[in-house]
Amino acid sequence: MTLSEQKLSKSATDNAYLLTSVFSELNGAVLNVPAGKVLAAQGEDVRSVFRIDRGFVRICVYTEDGARRIVGFSGAGSIIGLDQLNHPSWNVAVEAVSHCVVVAVPKAFVNRQIEADCRVRDGAMRCLQDEIEQREAHLVMMGILPSSERVHAFLSTFAKLRAREGFLVLPMCRRDIGDYLGLSMETVSRSFTALREMGRIELKGAERFRIVEEQDASVDHRAA
């Protein structure tokens, strides 16, 4: 696993399909969540597990002194809360970054399905394993990369996750990115500028970006 392959939620969605049967609209409520709304507050009782069907959420941790860290972003297809099934209350907050459509399935129902259906159990374990992998990749990145490289890795991952050509819209603001990458809002902004000036990304306004594919500097051109 290279740093640039660090995941936001890609393989999580690859495995989440194993849980399709559980997150049917028959088993839970379909919620329409406006941007900024809190889906689950830190400390609140865990009642449901969510599947994101549209939009983007951030997973936040608030510390005693009011600081916020974002430990992950998740987009359509991701399942949120499998790691909370044995907790009485949420130890993270789940907040909509953009307008979201979410299926909320009662925790007890999810637990029963895990008990009853070995495909569901397998899917849930794979999702948890993916989450561990994501957190570890995040941790490694935070420890090693300088600011601009972190921002570039973040944008690359985001772009790969979307796997679409052309400019992409970033749903989250600079502060969110900063809280995710362990940088100040200003440093994130400066990194955007630096990457643009280096020709490694293109920007349209503050929200739209495109990764410029770069030659791998480690490739030895003498071979050509």
Partner DNA sequence: CGCGGTTTTGAGCTCAGTCAACGTACGTGG
Partner DNA sequence: CCACGTACGTTGACTGAGCTCAAAACCGCG
Residues at the interface with its own copies (CB under 8 A): 1-3, 61, 63-64, 67, 69, 71, 82-87, 91-92, 114-115, 118, 121, 124-126, 128-129, 131-133, 135-136, 138-140, 142-144, 179, 182
- Rounded CA-CA distance 218/168 in Å is 28
Give the 3-state secondary structure of residue 40.
Answer: strand
Does 27 help bind DNA (rule: CB under 7 A)? Answer: no
Q: Is residue 17 packed enough to be buried (19+ CB in 10 Å), middle (13-18) or exposed (0-12)?
A: exposed
**Distances in whole angstroms, Cα of residue 187 to Cα of each of 104, 192, 195:** 36, 9, 12
Give the closest residue to 84 by CA, choosing from 55, 105, 54: 105
Lookup: tokens for 94: 């789940």
Q: Of these, 185, 200, 210, 211, which contacts DNA (CB under 7 A)?
A: 185
96 close to 141: Cβ distance less than 8 angstroms: no
Q: Of these, 29, 169, 206, 212, which contacts DNA (CB under 7 A)?
A: 206
- Binders in 29-68 for DNA, by CB under 7 A: none
- Rounded CA-CA distance 37/35 in Å is 6
Site string for DNA, 93-132 (x = CB under 7 A): ----------------------------------------
Nearer to DNA, 128 or 185 (CB): 185
Look-up of token digits 């088993």: 27
Q: Of these, 59, 92, 155, 183, which contacts DNA (CB under 7 A)?
A: 183
Least distance (Å) from DNA to the CB of residue 153? 12
Does 141 help bind DNA (rule: CB under 7 A)? Answer: no
Nearer to its own copies, 120 or 201 (CB): 120
Quickly count: other Cβ atoms within 10 Å of residue 212's Cβ. Answer: 12
Which residue ranges make up the site for DNA (CB under 7 A)? 146-148, 173-175, 182-190, 192-193, 203, 205-207
